Amino acid sequence: MIGIVGGGVSGLFLGHELVRSGMDVTIWEATGRLGGVVSSEDCGGLVLERGPQRMRLTSQVKKLIEEVGLQEEVILGPNHLPLLVYSRGKLRKVPLTLNQFFTTDLLPLPSKLRVLAEILTAGTKRDETVGSFLRRKFGVVAYESFLGPLYGGLYGSDPDRMLVKSVLAERLKEAGIGRSIVWDLWGRIGRGSDVPPCSFKKGLGALPDALGRKLGNRIRLESPVIFAQQGLRGYDSGWCVVAEDGTDSLTRTNVEAVVLACPAEQAAKIIRGVRNIRVAGTETLMRDLNYNELAVCHMKSEANLQGLGYQVGFGEGLETRGVTFNHSLFGRDGLYTAFLGGMKNPSLVGLPDETIASIATSEFQQVTGFKAFSLEVSRTKIPAWDLSWKGYRKDQLPEGLFVCSNFSGRPGLQGRIQEAQALSKKLRDYLLRSH
C-alpha cells in the first residue's frame, strides 16, 4: 500500500495512476474537499475559477479525461486566440508567428534586431537568474515589455529572483533547445499551437471530483496527516502515517511508501520527526521554500474582448499582474479574472476585499476602456520557484519517502500529470525491489 498525503491534483493523478497499475493507495486530504488550489464555483450560472483557468488538451490530458469519463463535459477554447500584453499604455498582441514578429508594434525596430541577435549569444550560465538570462539574450526592451511579465506571470514571481538552473534549464533541454532559442524555434514559429485550451462545463474542479469518485473509499477527507514515521515494520522501508480523523483520536496506518503531495511547509512538518540524516537537510530546505500569494478578482463586464488575456508589462505602474478573458476562452459571458499581488507586491493580499476589487476593476477600465464590477475576491498561493529553491533536491530523501507536488516539478496541470506518471513507474520498481 502506498500512502499519499494531499488530495490536490498531484495526489489524485498519482493515486489514479497507481490504482490503474494494480497498486493499492490511501489518500489523506486535510480539508473536506478535493482539488487543492483547483477550485471552481458556480456564481449565478457563471463558472468562477479560483485557481488554474485552463489546461491544454494534450494527448495525456485527453486520455485522463476518457479514463475518468468526462468526455461529455469538456469545453474547448478557440485554438489561436491572441495573447496580449499591456505595454507603453496600450494593449498589444504578443507575436507568436514570424509575420507577427516583424509587424508588431510591441517592439521598435532596434529591439526587434536585438531579439534576432540572440543567435549570437551564449547558452545558459551557472547561477544566472531568469531575468538576467532573458535580458542578456533578448535585450532590455523585449524583457520588460513582454518576456519578463509572461515568464514571471506563470509563477507570480519576479524573474530576477528565479534561477535558470531551477526553472528553465531542464525545460529548454526537454524542448531540445540548445544555445540559441531563436535558432531552435525558427522552424517551429508560425505553426502556433495545435493543442486547444480546454476546461469542463462546471470548471476544472470537475477533474478532481471525477478522480475522487473513481478512487472512492481510498480517500480520507478531513484527515490531516500530522507526521510520518519510518521503520516501524522492522525494516527501513516501512512507514507509519499518523493522521487526525475528525475525532479526538489519531489513526495510524502502515504503508510501504509515503508520497508527500501537499505544499512544502506541510511536507516539512510531516517529516520533521523522522530520524534520518538526509531528512534533516531536506526538511529545512522544504520549510524555507517561498510561495507567492495572489489575490484573484472575478469581474463582470460588457467588454467583448477576444484573446487568452493580458499580462502587464514591467514599469506600467499597475498592481494587476494579469487578466484571463474567460469570456472569449470558454464563452463565459462577460467574465474576466484578474490576478494581483505575487512577488512584486506580496502585501496586497492583506488588503480588504473591497479595496482589491476596486483596484482590479479600475485598472481593468484603464487598460481596456471598459467598466467592470467585481463578483468575488479570493486568495491563493503558488510556489515561487525563486532563489529559495537553490539547494533543494527532491531525491535527497530516505528509502520509501517521495514527493509529488507543484513545488517539486512543473506546476502546470500537464506537468502534474507527467510527474505522477513518472513517479508511478518509480514506485512500482521500488515495491518490486523491496518485496
Ligand X SMILES: Cc1cc2nc3c(=O)[nH]c(=O)nc-3n(C[C@H](O)[C@H](O)[C@H](O)COP(=O)(O)OP(=O)(O)OC[C@H]3O[C@@H](n4cnc5c(N)ncnc54)[C@H](O)[C@@H]3O)c2cc1C
Task: Compute how many residues bind ligand X; rule: CB under 6 A.
Answer: 35
Q: Specify whether the CB–CB gap between 341 and 156 falls below 8 A.
A: yes
CB of 224 to ligand X, least distance (A): 4
In the complex with ligand X, the residue whose CB is nearer, 90 or 171, is 171
Cα dihedral sign for 58, 54, 147, 393? Answer: negative
In the complex with ligand X, the residue whose CB is nearer, 142 or 413, is 413
Binding residue for ligand X (CB under 6 A) from 26, 40, 53, 282? Answer: 53
In the complex with ligand X, the residue whose CB is nearer, 55 or 84, is 55
Binding residue for ligand X (CB under 6 A) from 16, 54, 112, 327? Answer: 54
Binding residue for ligand X (CB under 6 A) from 14, 16, 17, 36? Answer: 36
N-to-C CA span, the chain: 12
* Site for ligand X contains 9 (CB under 6 A): yes
Give the DSSP letter string of 416-431.
HHHHHHHHHHHHHHHH
* Site for ligand X contains 424 (CB under 6 A): no
Q: Specify whether the CB–CB gap between 207 and 417 falls below 8 A.
A: no
In the complex with ligand X, the residue whose CB is nearer, 166 or 414, is 414
CB of 27 to ligand X, least distance (A): 8
* Site for ligand X contains 8 (CB under 6 A): yes
Instruction: Name the DSSP letter for residue 69.
Output: T
Residues 6+ apart with CB under 8 A from 149: 85, 311, 312, 313, 314, 321, 322
* Site for ligand X contains 294 (CB under 6 A): yes
Location of C-alpha cell 510531516: 270
Binding residue for ligand X (CB under 6 A) from 259, 411, 423, 424? Answer: 411
CB of 180 to ligand X, least distance (A): 28
Closest CA to 73 of 35, 43, 31, 40: 40
* Residues in region 362-381 near ligand X by CB under 6 A: 380
Q: Specify whether the CB–CB gap between 385 and 155 falls below 8 A.
A: yes
Residue range at the interface with ligand X (CB under 6 A); choices 58-66, 299-307, 355-363, 408-416? 408-416
Q: Specify whether the CB–CB gap between 383 and 407 falls below 8 A.
A: yes
Instruction: Name the DSSP letter for residue 95.
Output: P
Closest CA to 70 of 268, 217, 204: 204
- Using CB under 6 A as the criterion, what x/- string covers residues 226-265 for binding ligand X? -----------------------------------xxx--
Binding residue for ligand X (CB under 6 A) from 274, 413, 420, 427? Answer: 413
CA dihedral 261, 262, 263, 267 (to 10 degrees): -90
In the complex with ligand X, the residue whose CB is nearer, 7 or 82, is 7
Strands (E) in 80-144, as ranges, are 83-87, 90-93
* Site for ligand X contains 312 (CB under 6 A): no
* Residues in region 68-87 near ligand X by CB under 6 A: none
In the complex with ligand X, the residue whose CB is nearer, 142 or 340, is 340
CB of 138 to ligand X, least distance (A): 24
Location of C-alpha cell 513517479: 423
Q: Specify whether the CB–CB gap between 124 and 168 falls below 8 A.
A: yes
Q: What's the grid cell of residue 327?
A: 469570456
In the complex with ligand X, the residue whose CB is nearer, 80 or 125, is 80
Give the DSSP letter string of 287-336.
HT--EEEEEEEEEEES----SSEEEEPTTS--SEEEEE-HHHHH--TTEE
Binding residue for ligand X (CB under 6 A) from 10, 320, 337, 368? Answer: 10
Binding residue for ligand X (CB under 6 A) from 70, 84, 141, 225? Answer: 225
In the complex with ligand X, the residue whose CB is nearer, 11 or 149, is 11
Rounded distance between C-alpha atoms, residue 416 and residue 341, angstroms = 24
Contact residues: ligand X, CB under 6 A: 5-11, 28-31, 36-38, 51-55, 224-225, 261-263, 266, 294, 380, 382, 405-406, 411-414, 416
